[in-house]
Structure 1
């Protein structure tokens, strides 16, 4: 095994292990809170979908990449390749959609009564589950396109438009290449635009709130950051982290679309970048987000209605 392959195998394995532990630990945390009948925040449902989607991205990309880097090249058949790439793309899409939904809901939560977001405050909680489920359905349907042109490395060897991924290959017609790329990128681009808009709105709201409370901060009384403000700052950090990794990933994807035989080192770097956000995001939330930062079971019990 070459030293480069060994180094990439260690990187893939480390990223997969760290990301899996981070996302699964928070999923277990929320599962425990659910069975102890704790009253969770509305955004916690979005976070659970985010952790599940992150886990799909890490497992269905990190594990095959690790095995391929260790020298196992043809361990997946045609069906296996299709399922690996399909669930990876679905997880990636839901991860983007959940981060977008989290950003939108947070700006609605912290918006003042005079804001344009006020009319959505009363109804936002009711539609979180619906939007989360629709996000899964949308990406499960949209990514069926992948099943048409992902195959194992032994099939279609004589086709010109064919790209190798180490353990699988992608076959497509040149006339459909740009259309497929645009169709798969459109929901991501819409989510990124919406995240930028809501994040800038959150920053503006927090800035105006800070100016209103300026006279209180001048006194010697200790000021305490509200859970909503803390959560909003964390989501802005989360969105910024996502934009960073998404921009790098988009650059690599555009490069791979233009060139049929990209450098193997760039392919490895692109794989690491793809798993960057799902690996880092649970630890950002664990350190800063109110409902996640404390991994104890201290919570408010759900109240039951009193029988008359």
Structure 2
């Protein structure tokens, strides 16, 4: 058991630290682009929003779970448990909604070669910020039930009423909470459906376009080096990571709602919940040559400043 605790301590610290670093790089590059006078594109706004909410997901889940893994279980009172859990649930929902909007916008961008889709893309660009505000309103409202069923640690010895979540506890309450759960589930399923459908559409378009331009390339052409292939692989990787970890985490979360979980189940669920926020920024950085170019520019400016400083 001690070996498992040590393993999860290392995992949570590494995951939270690296994930926060990756999202901070994305967020910092978008802010750097804005401060240097460049006009932010809709894709930049979505990446900035996604990096911000992913950072909140990591910090609101990773820090409490890391402290719990070190044996510090009573560091939050009931209000603290409610607030931390609420932040995590809202940020998790926003991450899902923003990712689905991002894949949808990319699908429209790829199809915008035709005049019909080009006009639709122009309309969607104007709705990016309103959609973000709508996502915030929906997630803030649908997760308000957290303040009803989340309690402080070890508030009751009755196992039929509350299940321990290491540093907080869960209270079984019927009635209006089920309505919030249904609305949240429908919102999550809708976003997942949009994400999967748009990604499949993008993959089909890119593969068809790749076949059409194959004759243009020389005999030395390597399929793995084409922009179409790289974009297809990156989108498949991003959505596969999200869907896989989201489904596994949802299954474990449902189990913990009805049964008293073992600590390793709680730790594993927390790890799965933070996998996409931790890994997605690195996928987006590596697939986007523009982001890599900004990284190089930013690094060169830092070197120049260090040379001029005494």
* TM-score, normalisation: structure 2: 0.87
Provide Cα deviations, 1:274-301, integer angstroms capped at 9, x if missing partner.
1100000011111112332221348xxx
**In the alignment, what sits opposite 1:61?**
61
Aligned partners of 1:57 and 1:91 also within 8 Å: yes
Name the SS for the 1:57 alignment partner: helix
**In the alignment, what sits opposite 1:283?**
282
Change (3 A) 1:233 1:6: closer
Aligned partners of 2:76 and 2:152 also within 8 Å: yes
Q: Distance in 2 between matches of 1:281 and 1:222?
A: 26
Higher helix share: 2
| Equivalences, count | 296
Greater relative CO, 1 or 2 (CA 8 Å, sep 6+): 1
- 1:220 deviates by 5.9
* TM-score, normalisation: structure 1: 0.87
Q: How does 1:66-77 map to 2 (within 5 A)?
A: 66-77=66-77
- 1:212 deviates by 1.9
Aligned partners of 1:230 and 1:290 also within 8 Å: no
**In the alignment, what sits opposite 2:271?**
272
Provide Cα deviations, 1:241-274, integer angstroms capped at 9, x if missing partner.
11111121122123223x4212221221111111
**In the alignment, what sits opposite 2:301?**
none
Instruction: Report the aligned-residue RMSD.
Output: 2.5
Q: Distance in 1 between matches of 2:129 and 2:55?
A: 20
1:172 aligns with 2:167: no
Q: Distance in 2 between matches of 1:112 and 1:45?
A: 19
Q: Distance in 1 between matches of 2:229 and 2:40?
A: 17
Change (3 A) 1:141 1:175: closer
**In the alignment, what sits opposite 1:94?**
94
Q: Any unmatched runs of 5+ in structure 2?
A: 299-310
- 1:140 deviates by 1.2
**In the alignment, what sits opposite 2:302?**
none
Name the SS for the 1:296 alignment partner: helix
- 1:233 deviates by 4.8
**In the alignment, what sits opposite 1:193?**
193
